[in-house]
Structure formats: structure tokens, C-alpha cells
Amino acid sequence: MRAALIARQFDVQGRLVTVEPYGSGNVNDTYLAVFRTTFSEQRFIVQRIRKSVFPNPEVIMQNMRVLTDHCHAKLEAEAEGADRIWQLPKIIQTKTGEDWVTDVDGDLWRAISQIASADAYEKVRNPEHAHEAGIVLGHFHRMVSDLPAEKLGYALPGFHVTPGYLSKMDAALATPAGQERLHASQEAKRAVRFVETRRARCSVLEDARARGDLGLRTTHGDPKVGNIMIDEATGRGTCIVDLDTVQPGLVHYDIGDAMRSVCNPAGEDASELGSVIFDLELFSMIYRGYQAHAKDFLSQADHRHLFDCIHLIPLELGIRFLADHLAGDVYFKVRYPGHNLRRALVQFKLAESIEAREPSIRKVLGES
């Protein structure tokens, strides 16, 4: 097994016991490696970064090195006054002192520490869980608020630039194969119509950036609830994981993505579209948790665009799923034919629910 051969190249004591698939990510191949000595055991994460998704995986690792060095130093400096033990994964170097291994196919493999005695959940469990997710994201944003975005490269150029995803959908629709997939399903036709009626709203955040109202910052890129680690002993959030998409961006994309994930208790793969709603209680809790750390660095202009990002990100993710379906499922991993289309419909249903609850959401945000 290639993962086992790769795992042995990292600087970990002991002998390899097992390497097993780990987690439920949609992009990278992830494994849990277990090494043992005669008196101890070490578990860590081994991942293959897919070049078909990340054309420049070296940038991911360079960003991860900059970010983790910055955050680990701050976590240590603030540890005595913190209300909990905050954590962040650490890069495990190879035996020759490198941050990654390149295999014979040119794919990049890396090893990172496992956050022990903590779990992540694909769906929010209760309002307290939502509150902790907000605290973790707010803490992360505060930690990186003094890390200049220009120190980071673009691991995924165009990531979270919504008009770019619209262009990809349009390009997929312009192909014979895309048209065939569109006309093969009434649901696909309905999904495309949903996007068309909201096309003008897709540039709201990029327009604000162009006007100078919003600026680039260090962002996580994928702060969904499944990337928030909850301490088994205390039930409190301890860190955010999956740092592949760290790069310069608008902090609003992170905020919107977290709200999208946490406030839909039915989850991304909801079996019934009727169960998909934007839960206002969960929203109130995650926003309260986020503000506990974020109030010091969000400007008035940032606040003016909070509802925009909450509405836009489900719409954007739905467009991404729909474009991938029309293109033949080339980006996201799928478990069955039509999986990406189904995912798109869930996100569009969530965006619709947000539209229906706009006055209540704005009230929680303090706008009325």
C-alpha cells in the first residue's frame, strides 16, 4: 500500500502498525497512521494532496508552514491566560527534514499531528455545539488577524470568488456533454433556473472589495462544522483543522461558510429537501460565539456585508456542485450518479430558507 510506504518516510519513532483510511473529506486521500515503540504509541495523519485539485500543492504546504508557525507562537504566548488549551495541527517533517514527500507520480504527501481526544462531527449536534463552532472560528480569525495576507500564496486561485464559479457553470453548460446532463434531469433544469434568477447577487462581495469596502485577509477557506474539533473531556472547541485552503481572501467567505454548515441541521447530504432549513436558534448561537472573539477586528463595513455572505455562500457552493455535475464530476468525490446535483439542490434549498428568514437574520446581526 502506497500510504504505508510513504508513512515510513516521516520522522516518527517506532514501527508502523497500520495505515487506514480516515475521515470523510471530499477532496484529499486521508489516512490515520499508527506507530508503536516498546513503550508508546503515536498516531498521525497522512494525506495525499490531489494535483488534479491543487495544481501547486507546494503552495499549500508553504502556507501551512507560515500559518502554523505564526499561530503556535501566539498560542504559547497566550496559553496562561486562555480559558482552554487551544490547539492547531503541526507539520511532521520527513527524516531528511522536509515538510512533504513527492511520490513517483508527482503527488505530494504530508504528515500532520492528530488532535487527540477530540472529535469532529459532520452535523451540528445542538445549540451548544453551534456556539463552540463560532468560538473556534472567531478565535482562529483573531489569531491570524495580524498575519499579513501577502505572506501567503494562492493554493487555489479563484477560490471563493463566486463570479468565477458562475463562469465554470456557464462553460459546462456550453458543452454537448453538459447539455446532455442538463436535459437528462428536470432537477438539473430547475437548479439552473434557480441560479439564473439570482445571478446578479453573485458578485456582491467582490463588488464590495472592488470599491474598497472589504479587504483581503488571511482566511481558512473551509470552516465547516466537520473541521471544528470538540474536546471529548470538556465538550468545548479546541481547534480548527484542514488547512489546505488557507490563503488570502475575504473573511466573509469564512463566516458565510461556517453559518451555512452549522445552521443546516439536516447536513450537506440531506435525504429530504424538506428537512433543509436555516435554523435561527443555531445561527444566534454560532454568531454569539463568533462575536466573542471577532468583535475586536470586524469593521463597520465588514458588518454591513454579513447578511450578504450568509446568503451567498450556500448559493456559491450549490453552483460549484452543479457545475461539477454538469462537467462530469471532476472535482468533488461522489458516492453515486447525480450526487453532486443532489448536493446542489440541498444548498439551493438552504439559500431559499435564508431568503425567507432575512429580517430575522438581520435582527440577530444587530441591523434592526
269: cell is 447530504
Cα-to-chain-centroid distance, residue 47: 16
Angstrom distance (rounded) from CA 195 to CA 208: 21
**pLDDT tens by residue, 67-98:** 999 999 999 999 999 999 999 999 999 999 99
Residue 368, pLDDT above cutoff 80:
no
- pLDDT confidence of 211, banded at 50, 70, 90? very high
Angstrom distance (rounded) from CA 157 to CA 320: 15
Q: Name the residue ranges covered by the structural domains of the chain.
A: 115-364
For 97, other C-beta atoms within 10 Å of its C-beta total 7
Measured on CA atoms in the order 168, 171, 176, 181, is the torsion positive or negative? positive
Angstrom distance (rounded) from CA 262 to CA 182: 30
- The CATH homologous superfamily for domain 115-364 is Aminoglycoside phosphotransferase (APH), C-terminal lobe (3.90.1200.10)
For residue 105, give every residue at least 6 positions away whose Cβ sits within 8 Å of its Cβ, in sequence order, or none. none
The pLDDT score that the predictor gives to residue 51 is 80
Angstrom distance (rounded) from CA 19 to CA 100: 17
What pTM does this model have?
A: 0.92
For residue 282, give every residue at least 6 positions away whose Cβ sits within 8 Å of its Cβ, in sequence order, or none. 124, 127, 130, 262, 263, 265
**pLDDT tens by residue, 121-153:** 999 999 999 999 999 999 999 999 999 999 999
Residue 24, pLDDT above cutoff 70:
no
The pLDDT score that the predictor gives to residue 196 is 98
Contact present, 349 and 273 (Cβ < 8 Å): yes
Q: β-strand 91-92 against 108-113: which pairing, if any? A: antiparallel
